[in-house]
Structure 1
């Protein structure tokens, strides 16, 4: 039986945080690791919304820091499932910073993460296909096979000092 196709809007998730001094480095800008934690969290929520199952992070790639996020700014993360395979989902995240006094907003980071849906024993399970609903989502959906092949190639070529 074919899985029900689900629109991107079902997975769309938004998270907003205020950047405090404990979130920043000696430059007064947000720690990259803190932002990475937020990206993983919002991506997982998005993936679970799409498939209505538990998920695990399989990879995070194309994490591009574009501009720094400063202490006192709000950081908003928007995530949605951009494409799917049999058991995996590619989640796109765009991060925006906002100066709450001036209203200025800017894109500060983009990322792609892959999640796998799992059953109660941690075994991969099938996910529903995703349906893009606008031109921007369609562009990400159409370019997903190229990113998928790059991830497969990277995994095949990875090196470990313990091998």
Structure 2
């Protein structure tokens, strides 16, 4: 949820000029794809992920499962909204992430190479720092020094 919140804030015109850069660790950049991947990871048929999406995105179905309203998953799909991203972004992602497919981070980097950098680690979901704290610290510090004036 951290990346989704950070990206939504950076996307708001009222925050223009306030957010100089983003550092995202194991970000969920496309909730629909992550839901589908986690269904498969859990041993469910691939179709289960496809079938789950309407229960979140269509108001009547969302209310049926106890949500107050629909969840606008498309607004959280930064792989499709890459052209709208205006904030320099460093993504840290583990190559062994079995919860959030690294291909989503790669897709955002590939769509916006002038704005998005990807640093990979031999790590699982949210374990980049744990895998190599020095490498993580150096990567983040060096990247921010170039982008954040003092």
Looking at secondary structure, tell me which structure has more strand per residue: 1
TM-score normalised by L of structure 1: 0.25
TM-score, normalised to structure 2, is 0.26
